[in-house]
Amino acid sequence: MRSIPAQTIQGIAAKAITLTFDSGLYPDDPDSPLNDWDWDHYCLHMFVEDVKRLASLSDCRFAA
């Protein structure tokens, strides 16, 4: 996945989601309110959510 360049916004979204897990920047309790999250976890989460939202506006599904 990391070695394949993204060709679409869906590919970028897939890489952004993977980044969350690779970086370890996710909260201990993901069900807690966003305003309780550490700032770095919050920032990455919001970035990934924005990329996923943009990708969902396209006709294609997630593809790397």
pTM of the model: 0.72
CA distances from 23 to 7, 13, 58, 60, 63 (A): 22, 15, 27, 27, 21
Q: What is the pLDDT of residue 60?
A: 53
Q: In a structure prediction context, what are the per-residue pLDDT tens digits for the chain, which is 64 residues long?
A: 778 899 988 888 889 888 888 888 777 787 889 888 889 889 998 999 899 888 888 755 544 4
Q: What is the per-residue pLDDT for 34?
A: 86
Residue 48 vs residues 6, 19, 22, 43: alpha-carbon distances, Å: 15, 9, 13, 9
pLDDT at 62: 46
